[in-house]
Structure 1
Amino acid sequence: MNELIGAGVALVTPFHADGSIDFDTLGDLIEYQIAEGVDYLVSLGTTGETATLAQEDRKQVWKFTTDKVKGRVPLVAGIGGNNTAEIVRQVQAFDIPGYCAILSVSPYYNKPTQEGIYQHYKAIAEVSTLPIILYNVPGRTGSNIMPATAVRLAQDFKNIVAIKEASGNFMQFSEIMRDKPDDFLLISGDDPVTLPMMALGAVGIISVVGNAFPGKVAQLAKLCRAGNYAEAGILHAQLLHITELCFVEGNPCGVKYILQQKGFGKDYVRLPLVPVGPQTQQKIIDELKKIDRF
């Protein structure tokens, strides 16, 4: 799965004021990502506000994205949830060409056991015609894919090819790297820890801040892949505070405001999310001025 090596960006879903999808801005954003050198794009992950999109909305976004990209970069589709039977149905029904893998978040809210998590992904793997990326984000799901479970899934199902790890637990990352099959990929799911994770053996990042700074994120991943951690550290430091501001009032609220400042649509989000407040807006503006000096 060389398509998943390097910098991936989890695209936002731009909206109009009435909550409808702003496809013009989405198209402009996709062109920006490709021009700036990202390695692949993720359509409808967490950052895409997928939880607030109806299934027909999702199909339209996936189709628009693949039609716009036209094979220039690999695409990953986000399909995940806490109703295993429904996710299996959605994976079976997914027939949009142009995608190389499915990113599937661990079941949230239900708080399944490790065996429940295993059986959930087993059911998906048995019907999927595309490779699967596990997505572990305990801060959102309320449960953790333990390293032994991730490794067990990787060993038992050849089409489970990677894990996007956003637990923030370096012991967990280390155990995955120690025990995983050679061809199973560890991918950073948190922008601030991409550099140290890649030093440990991760192959890249699925980024949020990359929506606004795709060139910097792509270069950071490239430098880490080359083992040039000194130069990568400079980019890491430049992006550290703006990344923090992306999340201080919820994702993708912060990065959508940054995109608005850069001329990519408006910062509209769907409830229960709301745009960032005036204090965060000013902090973002101040930080953008600093970054522009580099």
Structure 2
Amino acid sequence: MQKFIGTGVALVTPFKEDLSVDFDALAKLVNYNIENGTDYLVINGTTGESATITKEEKQEIIDVIIKTNNKRLPLVLGVGGNNTALVVDELKSRDFSGIDGILSVAPYYSKPTQEGFYQHYKAIAEATDLSIILYNVPGRTAKNMEPSTVLRLANDFANIVGVKEAGNNQQQYHTLIKDKPSDFLIISGDDDLALGVTLAGGAGVISVIGQAFPKQFSTMIHHGLQGNNKEGYAIHYKMMDVIDYIFEENNPAGIKTVLQELEICSNEVRLPLVKASTDLSLKIEKFVTEFQ
């Protein structure tokens, strides 16, 4: 699955002041990333505020991104939830023309057993021929999907091609990389660990900060893929502060503040999220001014 190696970015959903979707800003963000080295785009993930996006808006967002992208980069669509039957129904009923794969978050809130995780993804894998990237993010779902479960799924289903691992657990990354099938992708979902994971044998990252600084971040990840430790970390150290900033309060309020400073989109978010505080915004403004 060469198309999902390198830097993927989890796109925000830009909003206008009235909190309607700003499709012009979305197209601007997509072009900005394509023109500056991002390897693939991820639509309607957590960073895209998928929890507060309506079904109608989701389709409009997909349509605008597909049209703007114009087949230039691979596209991954977020399709997941904690009602397995509804996820399966979406996979069977939605038109996936123009989409190269799906990112499917581990069931949140329900806290299934490891067997529950397995059966959930088994049902998803059997419902579609699309490439599936698992998404383990225990900080949001309240339950960790263990490496043994991920590897069981990787070995049992050919269309489960990788995992976005976002447990911020270096040992878990190493276990996955050590024991994975040769063509299975271990993708970092932690911007702060992305370079180290890639250098250790990972396939890159699905990044939040990468969409704001695609040229620098994708260069860093490609250094990681090539084993260029020194060159990669030279970029990593320059970006450490802003990576901390964007997750200091909530995601995507932080990254939207960065994107506002770059004049790509506004910093509007939908409740229950709120905009970044004045203190955080000032830190981000200072970083962006000095980093440019």
Alignment-derived partner of residue 272 in structure 1: 272
Give the Cα–Cα distance (whole angstroms) in 2 for the partners of residues 265 and 135 of structure 1. 27
Distance (Å, rounded) in 2 between the aligned partners of 1:72 and 1:181 = 29
Q: What's 1:195 paired with?
A: 195
Offset, 1:94: 2.4
CA RMSD of aligned residues (A): 0.9
Matched with 1:95 is 95
TM-score normalized by the length of structure 2: 0.98
Between the aligned residues of both structures, percent identity stands at 47
What SS class does the counterpart of residue 186 from structure 2 fall into?
Answer: strand
SS in 2 for 1:99: coil
Match of 2:25 in 1: 25
Query: Per-residue displacement from partner, 1:89-117 (whole Å, max 9, x unpaired)?
Result: 11112213111110000000010000000
Cα distance between partner residues in 2 of 1:162 and 1:265: 31
Q: Distance in 1 between matches of 2:70 and 2:265?
A: 23
| TM superposition shift of 1:271 | 0.6
Q: Quick check: 1:83 aligned with 2:83?
A: yes
Matched to 1:14, the amino acid is: P
1:181-220 pair list within 5 angstroms:
181-220=181-220
Task: Check if 1:3 corresponds to 2:3.
Answer: yes
Query: In the TM superposition, what whole-angstrom CA distance separates every residue of 1:270-289 from its partner, at most 9, and x where no partner exists?
Result: 11001001111111111122
Asked if 1 retains the 8 angstrom alpha-carbon contact of 2:103 and 2:135, the reply is yes
TM-score norm. by structure 1 comes to 0.98
Paired AA for residue 265 in structure 1: C
Which residue in the other structure is 1:53 paired with?
53
Gaps of 5+ in 2: none
Residues 62 and 96 of structure 1 are in contact (CA less than 8 Å); yes or no, is this contact kept in structure 2? no
Runs of 4+ in 1 over 4 A off after TM superposition: none
Structure 1 residues without counterparts, runs of 5 or longer: none
Q: Secondary structure at the match of 1:231?
A: helix
CA offsets, 1:231-288, max 9 Å, x none? 1101101111101111111000011011111111211111100100111111111112
Aligned to 1:240: 240
> Within 1, Cα distance between the matches of 2:227 and 2:281?
36
2:136 is aligned with what amino acid?
N
Give the corresponding residue for 2:106.
106
Secondary structure in 2 matching 1:250: coil
The residue type equivalent to 2:152 in the other structure is R
Letter of the aligned partner of 2:154 in structure 1? A
CA contact (8 A) 1:63 1:96 kept: no
Q: Secondary structure at the match of 1:27?
A: helix
Correspondence list, 1:219-230, <5 A:
219-230=219-230
Figure out how many residues of one structure are paired with residues of the other and give that number: 292
Tell me which moved more, 39-48 or 94-103.
Answer: 94-103
- Which amino acid is 1:22 matched to? D
For residues 10 and 43 of structure 1, the distance between their equivalents in structure 2, rounded to whole angstroms, comes to 6
Name the stretch that deviates more: 168-177 or 140-149: 168-177
Q: Structure 2: which amino acid aligns with 1:291? A: F
| Alignment correspondent of 1:142 | 142
Alignment check: 8 A CA contact 1:212 1:255 kept: yes
2:234 partner letter: I
